[in-house]
Amino acid sequence: MTGPPTSVVARRLAAQLLSGAAAPTPEAVVGRLLAVQAQNDRGARLAVRSRSSGLVASDVDDALSARRSLVVTWLNRGTLHLVTPEDYWWLHALTAPRLAVASERRLRQEGVSATQAERGVAVVTEAVRAHGPQTRHQLRRRLDEAGVPTAGQALIHVLGAASLRGQVVRGPVVGKEQAYVSVPAWLGASPPALDRDEALGRLAHRYLAGHGPAEAVDLARWAGVALGDARRGFGVIADQVATSAQGTVLVADLDRAASLPPPRLLGPFDPLLHGWASRAPFVGDHGSVVTTNGIFRPVALVHGRVVATWGLPGGGVCITPLERIPPRALAALVDDAADVVRFLELRDAPVTVN
């Protein structure tokens, strides 16, 4: 398979903070990428690890809890994303309305009537307002007492509905899970709303900062917005971008150094595999790393391309090559696996290669 020029891949990897200077904080990683897929808690933390230096997973927890500088909520394609509070406000306003119809349909499919859904949103909103952070178990109990269905996926879709209405986000880590909190209590008053063109322009600008070079179709797929809106956003910032056969980039980023990163392990659902309409430039012939039921497996990159998967069986890191990996590159992946152990604070967990 013939992919895009290496320069395109290298520029995208640099935009993703996978090459060049590492980010100093979780907030810096998330701010560059705008929104980090977070349906998998460990995956979101590992996305921070691979783009930073010297951090540990608990630094992400501190940002979610003590600093209140990161939150998780349903955005973009209708999936949980990790964002900064500053970006939450305008990104939620821009993407949540488009998700509402699908949310209502899923509630009906899960046996939650319109009346029950309204009651459920009210119960969740009042619980976090009156009692502070609430775990999913606590909210399930309150919803059960109110006669709102919670079986199967009903609970998560009721919580999703409350999130889409701007009432709750996932905030502090309580035990081993993120608790839900009141948006106004946790984040304060909302800033002035952006008009739609300004929001679309900001979306396009921030997307290109973390993904350029890219096209409007890539933005539409990543953000879950209509292609026409993506094109409109690109048009709003037309004087700030440069377009070539390689795609569109911010003029401010034209001189950004772009080289292929050293061998690197990426966690499950890593942003690199979500950022464009096609992931083929990075996965090549190994498209099966994304399963038919939508699971994005942890992968290893060499020269910016997927060459292996990895996991944590029994608490240690195990690398499974998908093709022959040169000895020096494999040794570098083993070293990076040791950094995964350090980041996750697994304490002397073994690193193996299948």
* pLDDT tens by residue, the chain, 354 residues: 345 566 999 999 999 999 999 999 999 999 999 999 999 999 999 999 999 999 999 999 999 999 999 999 999 999 999 999 999 999 999 999 999 999 999 999 999 999 999 999 999 999 999 999 999 999 999 999 999 999 999 999 999 999 999 999 999 999 989 999 999 999 999 999 999 999 999 999 999 999 999 999 999 999 999 999 999 999 999 999 999 999 999 999 999 989 999 999 999 999 999 999 999 999 999 999 999 888 999 999 999 999 999 999 988 999 999 999 999 999 999 999 999 999 999 988 999 999
* pLDDT value of position 47: 98
State pTM to two decimals. 0.95
What residues are paired with 321 via a beta bridge? 308
Cα distance between residue 330 and residue 88, in whole Å: 39
- CB of 114 closer than 8 Å to CB of 106: no
Strands of the sheet containing 36-37, edge to edge, are 36-37, 79-83, 71-75, 168-174, 177-182
Place of tokens 């079986």: 151
Cα distance between residue 230 and residue 224, in whole Å: 9
* pLDDT value of position 2: 46
Dihedral angle of Cα 252, 247, 17, 177, to the nearest 10 degrees = 120
Helix (H) or strand (E) holding 322: none
Q: CA 113, 115, 118, 123 torsion: positive or negative?
A: negative
72 Cβ neighbours under 8 A, 6+ residues apart:
38, 44, 64, 80, 81, 82, 83, 169, 170, 171, 178
* pLDDT value of position 20: 94
